[in-house]
């Protein structure tokens, strides 16, 4: 999407979008009377989210004028701007004009980034694989250019809006990865995609193949991969811009990359197996974050690790009661082949800690249905061993509307994950506190390193989207990580 400051002519675009506050009036002089009349007659009260379409009979004005209420100017918050910007874009896309003029009242100047995010996130086209007339219709609906018309000139405004658009564009990239089916998005294709991502951000890239994983002793990751025709991969990206102190310990981001999860021999029922292409949403968040590190000028040493495989059934597939030896040397009895995410994370995290000695670790994974049941699709579960890290992620979540909720790991939950004939079991089996016990398993491979675990089971793929989201993939985690790292 192209964002630019508009020229003086008011009617240069067919659609003019006019955000309106309920407690103050702001508009181009040519539209002042129209707005006054609508407010005076009570036709439009500018309540938050209220819209009105005006088709003026004046060749000097745009074909269509969309009024959108922003409510009381004193109650404007970032998440509200993001949501309302998304609503206005979804409203004008149906006109299929491609170019819009957007008036920005002075009260919205400081929310340029959120405005840009809402615009680009709502402009996302989820129908990547459609063809024919349907494809043409989606293409026509896309907003290609936004002409900004700020009430007050602000040198920083355009830069802030553009920053939001760039950020949201990468979220849309992550959405595409998660929406992509397994025959398009798998360990092989994601390994090739990692080459592009690393080149874009200037990161050092290492991709470990199955033989290398076996040699390193990553029995947990290799075990999950046994039923697959495609070999597992471990993608490692290291971003270290100039000026970063050699003494600074890196941030380690680990994203679960199960490109399709059948559940293995603990086969998922029909409804649960649908959309299991989403099980690599954690890896997508890490890929998206790395695409942004250089663009957003992040001056941090960041390591990204994504274990990639699908979890399938086959003659060689891992079976219940098999015992695997992890990279850390700990043994695990497989008590549930559908609790595979924690296994691949265990090897990836232990490898990352040993290889890079990070200052902190954050893993992100569609780990448990239990977390989805507990928190629904508006909060991700947050668990960990370091309160400062937890507080930082909570604050970043509040600022980006990628909300997280702190859940406990009781010492008894860790005891439940201890094995009888092996060091650990990967599933305790009671069905109680599933999110916490999944995190308790992962904690066994963290040691004393500050660590946080994000369970995004309910957030990565939704049926009830927020105004700026769409059904299916959300790209959750990219904006949260960028906000956290920018601090």
- What CATH number corresponds to the domain at position 93? 3.40.220.10
Q: Between vectors from CA 263 to CA 378 and to CA 206, what angle results, nearest 5°? A: 80
Q: How far apart are CA 41 and CA 56, in angstroms?
A: 17
For residue 175, is it within any domain? no
Q: Is residue 17 domain-shared with residue 137, that is, in the same domain? A: yes
For residue 210, is it within any domain? yes
- CB of 326 within 8 A of CB of 332? yes
Q: Is residue 249 domain-shared with residue 398, that is, in the same domain? A: yes
Cα atoms found within 13 Å of the Cα of residue 122, Cβ hemisphere only = 24
Of 114, 139, 168, the last residue of a domain is 168
Give the three-class secondary structure for 128. coil
CATH number at residue 480: 3.40.630.10
For all residues of the chain together, what is the average pLDDT?
Answer: 96
Domain interval for residue 222: 180-486
Q: How far apart are CA 120 and CA 23, in angstroms?
A: 28
Q: Which of the residues 87, 97, 342, 479 is marked catalytic?
A: 342
Count the domains in the chain.
2
Q: Is residue 384 domain-shared with residue 452, that is, in the same domain? A: yes
For residue 309, is it within any domain? yes
Q: Is residue 311 domain-shared with residue 396, that is, in the same domain? A: yes
Q: Which of the residues 39, 90, 249, 268 is marked catalytic?
A: 268
Q: Is residue 89 domain-shared with residue 223, that is, in the same domain? A: no
Q: Is residue 477 domain-shared with residue 385, that is, in the same domain? A: yes
- CB of 68 within 8 A of CB of 57? no
224 CA to centre of own chain: 25
pLDDT tens track of the chain, all 487 residues?
Answer: 999 988 767 767 789 999 999 999 999 999 999 999 998 888 999 999 999 999 998 888 999 999 999 999 999 999 999 999 999 999 999 999 999 999 999 999 999 999 999 999 999 999 999 999 999 999 999 999 999 999 987 888 999 999 999 999 999 999 999 999 999 999 999 999 999 999 999 999 999 999 999 999 999 999 999 999 999 999 999 999 999 998 999 999 999 999 999 999 999 999 999 999 999 999 999 999 999 999 999 999 999 999 999 999 999 999 999 999 999 999 999 999 999 999 999 999 999 999 999 999 999 999 999 999 999 999 999 999 999 999 999 999 999 999 999 999 999 999 999 999 999 999 999 999 999 999 999 999 999 999 999 999 999 999 999 999 999 999 999 999 999 999 8
For residue 350, is it within any domain? yes
Q: Tokens 């819009």 identify what position? A: 100
Q: Which residues pair with 425 in a beta bridge?
A: 333
For residue 173, is it within any domain? no
Q: Is residue 329 domain-shared with residue 465, that is, in the same domain? A: yes
For residue 174, is it within any domain? no
Give the three-class secondary structure for 487. coil
How far from each other are the two terminal CA atoms of the chain, in whole angstroms?
27
Q: Is residue 301 domain-shared with residue 238, that is, in the same domain? A: yes
Contacts 24+ apart (CB under 8 A), 55-64: 59/11, 60/10, 60/11, 60/30, 61/10, 61/11, 61/16, 61/30, 61/31, 62/10, 62/11, 62/13, 62/14, 62/15, 62/16, 62/101, 63/14, 63/15, 64/14, 64/15, 64/16, 64/95
Q: How far apart are CA 89 and CA 414, in angstroms?
A: 47
Query: What is the per-residue pLDDT for 393?
Result: 98
- CB of 172 within 8 A of CB of 47? no
Of 144, 168, 192, the last residue of a domain is 168
Q: Tokens 């702190």 identify what position? A: 406
Q: Is residue 151 domain-shared with residue 197, that is, in the same domain? A: no
As given in the structure block, the two tokens for residue 161 are 């809006």
Q: Is residue 247 domain-shared with residue 150, that is, in the same domain? A: no
Report which secondary-structure segment, H or E, holds 157. Answer: helix 155-179
For residue 367, is it within any domain? yes
Q: Is residue 353 domain-shared with residue 452, that is, in the same domain? A: yes
Provide the 10 A C-beta neighbour count for residue 270: 7
Provide the 10 A C-beta neighbour count for residue 110: 15
Q: Tokens 């700990």 identify what position? A: 330
Q: Is 268 a catalytic residue?
A: yes
Q: Is residue 153 domain-shared with residue 276, that is, in the same domain? A: no
Of 117, 139, 168, the last residue of a domain is 168
């Amino acid at each position: 999407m192209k964002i630019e400051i508009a020229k003086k002519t008011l009617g240069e675009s067919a659609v003019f979008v006019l955000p309106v506050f309920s407690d103050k009036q702001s508009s181009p002089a040519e539209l002042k009377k129209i707005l006054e009349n609508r407010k005076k007659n009570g036709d439009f009260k500018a309540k938050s989210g209220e819209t009105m379409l005006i088709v003026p009979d004046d060749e000097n004005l745009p074909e269509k004028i969309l009024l959108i209420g922003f409510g009381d100017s004193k109650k404007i918050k970032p998440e509200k701007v993001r949501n309302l910007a998304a609503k206005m874009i979804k409203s004008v896309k149906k006109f299929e004009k491609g170019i819009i003029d957007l008036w920005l009242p002075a009260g919205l100047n400081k929310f340029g980034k959120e405005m840009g995010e809402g615009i680009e996130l709502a402009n996302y086209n989820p129908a990547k694989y459609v063809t024919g007339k349907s494809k043409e219709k989606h293409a026509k609906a896309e907003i290609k250019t936004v002409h900004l018309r700020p009430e007050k000139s602000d040198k920083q405004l355009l830069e802030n809006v553009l920053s939001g658009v760039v950020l949201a564009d990468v979220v849309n990239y992550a959405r595409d990865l998660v929406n992509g089916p397994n025959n398009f998005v798998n360990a092989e294709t994601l390994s090739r995609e990692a080459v592009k991502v690393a080149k874009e951000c200037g990161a050092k890239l290492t991709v470990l193949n199955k033989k290398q994983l076996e040699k390193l002793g990553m029995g947990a990751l290799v075990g999950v991969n046994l039923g697959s025709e495609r070999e597992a991969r471990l993608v490692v990206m290291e971003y270290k811009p100039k000026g970063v102190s050699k003494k600074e310990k890196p941030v380690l981001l680990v994203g679960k990359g199960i490109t399709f999860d059948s559940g293995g021999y603990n086969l998922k029922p029909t409804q649960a197996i649908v959309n299991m292409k989403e099980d690599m949403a954690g890896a997508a968040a890490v890929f998206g974050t790395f695409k942004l590190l250089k663009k957003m000028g992040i001056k941090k040493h960041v390591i990204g690790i994504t274990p990639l495989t699908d979890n399938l059934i086959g003659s060689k597939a891992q079976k219940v009661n098999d015992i695997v030896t992890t990279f850390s040397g700990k043994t695990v009895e497989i008590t549930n082949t559908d609790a595979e995410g924690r296994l691949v994370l265990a090897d990836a995290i232990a490898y990352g800690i040993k290889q890079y000695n990070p200052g902190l670790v954050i893993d992100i994974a569609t780990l448990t249905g239990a977390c989805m049941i507990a928190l629904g699709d508006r909060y991700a579960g947050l668990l960990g061993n370091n309160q400062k890290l937890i507080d930082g992620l909570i604050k970043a979540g509040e600022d980006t509307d990628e909300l997280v909720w702190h859940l406990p790991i009781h010492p008894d939950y860790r005891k439940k994950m201890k094995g009888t004939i092996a060091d650990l079991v990967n599933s305790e089996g009671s069905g109680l506190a599933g999110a916490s016990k999944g995190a308790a398993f992962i904690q066994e491979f963290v040691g004393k390193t500050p660590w946080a675990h994000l369970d995004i089971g309910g957030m990565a793929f939704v049926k009830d989207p927020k105004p700026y989201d769409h059904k299916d993939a959300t790209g959750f985690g990219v904006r949260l990580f960028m906000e956290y790292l920018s601090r």
